[in-house]
């Protein structure tokens, strides 16, 4: 018997098939960029079938399907995910996907799912208290306490990206001010670069984007502009690193976790240099002395969320 | 059989005797302001005896003694409490007090103990996920998750006062910058008022202090200066309220608790007006919509920490 995990992202839908902790198959499909939630659920179902095909297994052998979803997840329902068509208004993803695939479905926040995977099989092995920080388009968080995913009374916990690090600071894509994500999310950084350019600041970021044939400033575009000495991008990275450092320290001061697992496309692209600087930016704010906290790189990459979702599906 | 709880503060040592949840006796003694930790432990022992005398009970009837201590508590040891003589360097308070009183001792962070009391017998009844915020000389936090005190892997959790709300902001009594306590702790506010006065800002705060015959700017002194229209004090209160609002919202975004119990001498002195303004300052930063969080007043006052410590002693 096997479980299937799905990670639903704004760009891609990943699926993996697990037998216990062993990965038997995988699939990766594009997330629809238009349409409604039915279209998204159809692609999630297709990803399940593709991953099962890759594993040489049948849907009858699946004991449960786990989903790591963006937005705020509560008791199988999802809402507030602006980057997936039809996922802004709250609805029961568990019920709709169950009708489609014919298997029990457990839905979790996507970064919580990634945190479960890193805890069990990745960079968080050996600790039972960790915070996963995902730096990508936005900034997400997932929490493991006492070895279990911590989702809060109503499932709304883990919103690390919306810890306030600068009262009255920059506007965040969430509409509020001074959140970590207002400085450290790639979308917010792109908007800040657009505003700075419109105000006359010199930057090659958007030239690099065009040269690479990209429709948006990807992590690779930011990295290339930085490597070519773009001072605006360097300043934006400084702000992102300081915000992540302060936000992580705040979370550590509150939760006393042992390990922070830093992942996500943006953090992964910049690698060890970025992680070291976040670590250094965090330390001046740590209350507990000597600090026990370690900031480590996520090990499971793009598939972490799907793997964690499959691990959680084993508990259905 | 009964339990005894002690709350060790920088000014007073409270003790209560509980039979289950019923308060049978109490005592309040001054914390030594000079000397070493042995002197403090002698007064803690005296407070236990006084409270037992008040209850008409004997030490032989005590199943355990609980202590709520300032500083960072780890496995019976305490360190980093600068407001109690001899409590800066880490030592085993549990062992030393056990030798003195001849009963098993359990040591907890003081605001965690208060959170336990509010959860079981006070403003947090009916919820299993709450954050207690104590606004007094400093700013402390205590966390209840799933109905249990949450102290982190090594006991260092709950440092709400050192959540960073303004990167690069005001210096906190802890030596770091931009913490909630740097704006909302009475000691930090007093230092800020002293600096402002030295720089030429007009304030009646220190005149009120002298009029009241106080050696320091107590919560009552701040309240009286505010009520007489002191604009510096009003500005400091604004900053304190904004910092508390942002910090509480950050904690709620991370933990999704149901209730924030606001207590401590400073918050209690200003009452419902202060709590309403903290609530209003918090709301613009809340991620989960509609928010479920309620900010309520602590109900157990000065004895909350001792009551919670006695409740935890029942688990020894």
pLDDT at B248 over 90: yes
Cβ within 8 Å, pair B288-A253: no
> Does domain A125-299 match CATH 3.40.50.300?
no
What's the average model confidence in pLDDT over B180-205? 97
Instruction: Report the distance separating Cα A278 and Cα A240, nearest Å.
Output: 9
Confidence grade of residue B230 (pLDDT, cut at 50, 70, 90): very high
pLDDT of residue B155: 83
The pLDDT tens digits for B293-305 are: 999 999 999 999 9
Q: Average pLDDT over chain A, rounded to whole?
A: 96
Instruction: Report the distance separating Cα A202 and Cα A230, nearest Å.
Output: 8
- Pick among A287, A289, A291, A293 to test the B interface (most B CBs inside 10 A): A287
Nearest to A104 by CA among A306, A304, A311, A315: A315
Is the CB of residue B160 less than 8 Å away from at least one CB of chain A?
Answer: yes
In terms of C-beta density within 10 A (0-12 exposed, 13-18 middle, 19 or more buried), how is residue B315 classed? Answer: exposed
Q: Which of B145, B166, B288 sits opposite A72 (nearest CB)?
A: B288
> What DSSP state is assigned to residue B262?
E
pLDDT of residue A300: 95
The pLDDT tens digits for A213-251 are: 999 999 999 999 999 999 999 999 999 999 999 999 999
Residue A262: strand pairing partners: A133, A297
Token pair for B263: 């207590």
Q: Which of B153, B157, B249 sits opposite A164 (nearest CB)?
A: B249
Is the CB of residue A164 less than 8 Å away from at least one CB of chain B?
Answer: yes
- Pick among B115, B152, B292 to test the A interface (most A CBs inside 10 A): B152
pLDDT at B153 over 80: no
Domains B2-116+303-313 and B124-299 share a fold: yes
How many other β-carbons are positioned within 10 Å of the β-carbon of residue A237? 22
Lowest-confidence region among A77-81, B62-66, B165-169, B258-262? A77-81
Cβ within 8 Å, pair B253-A159: yes
Domain positions in chain B are 2-116+303-313, 124-299
Cβ within 8 Å, pair A153-B128: yes
Is the CB of residue A242 less than 8 Å away from at least one CB of chain B?
Answer: yes
Q: Which of A143, A165, A253 sits opposite B159 (nearest CB)?
A: A253
How many other β-carbons are positioned within 10 Å of the β-carbon of residue B289? 11
Q: Report whether B49 contacts B64 (CB < 8 A).
A: no
The pLDDT tens digits for A5-64 are: 999 998 899 999 999 999 999 999 999 999 999 999 999 999 999 999 999 999 999 999
Confidence grade of residue B102 (pLDDT, cut at 50, 70, 90): very high
Contact residues for A68 (Cβ-Cβ < 8 A; gap 6+): A5, A6, A7, A8, A108, A109, A110, A111, A112, A113, A114, A305, A306, A308, A309
Is the CB of residue A285 less than 8 Å away from at least one CB of chain B?
Answer: yes
pLDDT at A156 over 90: no
Q: Average pLDDT over chain B, rounded to whole?
A: 96
Residue for token digits 């105000």? A199
> Does domain A2-116+303-313 match CATH 3.30.420.40?
yes
pLDDT of residue A316: 85
Which stretches of chain A are DSSP H helices? 37-55, 93-101, 110-121, 181-184, 186-198, 205-211, 219-227, 231-255, 265-282, 304-313
What's the average model confidence in pLDDT over B140-155? 92
What's the average model confidence in pLDDT over B198-216? 97
* Minimum CA–CA partner of A177 in chain B: B285
Cβ within 8 Å, pair A253-B163: yes
B166 contact residues in A (CB cutoff 8 A): 165-167
In terms of C-beta density within 10 A (0-12 exposed, 13-18 middle, 19 or more buried), how is residue A10 classed? Answer: middle
CATH number listed for the domain at residues B124-299:
3.30.420.40
Confidence grade of residue B83 (pLDDT, cut at 50, 70, 90): confident
A143 contact residues in B (CB cutoff 8 A): 254
């Amino acid at each position: 018997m096997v479980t299937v995990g799905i990670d639903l992202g704004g760009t891609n839908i990943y699926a993996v098939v697990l037998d216990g902790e062993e990965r038997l198959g995988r699939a990766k499909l594009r997330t629809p960029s238009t349409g409604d939630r039915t279209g998204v659920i159809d692609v999630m179902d297709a990803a399940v079938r593709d991953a099962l095909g890759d594993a040489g297994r049948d849907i009858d052998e699946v004991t449960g399907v786990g989903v790591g979803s963006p937005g705020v997840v509560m008791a199988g329902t999802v809402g507030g995910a602006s980057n997936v068509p039809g996922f802004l208004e709250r609805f029961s993803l568990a019920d709709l996907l169950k009708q489609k695939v014919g298997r029990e479905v457990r839905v979790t926040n996507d970064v919580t799912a990634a945190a479960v995977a890193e805890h069990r099989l990745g960079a968080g092995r050996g600790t039972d208290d960790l915070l996963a920080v995902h730096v990508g388009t936005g900034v997400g968080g997932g929490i493991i306490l006492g070895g279990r995913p911590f989702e809060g009374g109503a499932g709304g916990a883990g919103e690390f990206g919306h810890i306030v690090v600068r009262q009255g600071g920059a506007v965040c894509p969430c509409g509020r001010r001074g959140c970590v994500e207002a400085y450290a999310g790639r979308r917010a950084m792109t908007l800040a670069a657009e505003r700075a350019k419109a105000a006359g600041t010199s930057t090659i970021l958007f030239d690099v984007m065009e040269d690479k044939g990209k429709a948006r400033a990807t992590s690779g575009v930011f990295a290339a502009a930085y490597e070519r000495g773009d001072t605006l991008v360097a300043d934006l990275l400084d702000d992102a690193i300081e915000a992540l450092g302060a936000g992580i320290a705040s979370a550590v001061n509150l939760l006393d976790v042992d390990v922070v697992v830093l992942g996500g496309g943006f953090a992964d692209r910049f690698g060890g240099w970025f992680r070291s600087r976040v670590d250094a930016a965090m330390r001046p704010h740590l209350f507990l002395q000597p600090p026990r906290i370690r900031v480590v790189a996520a090990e499971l990459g793009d598939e972490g969320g799907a793997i964690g979702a499959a691990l959680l599906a084993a508990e259905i």
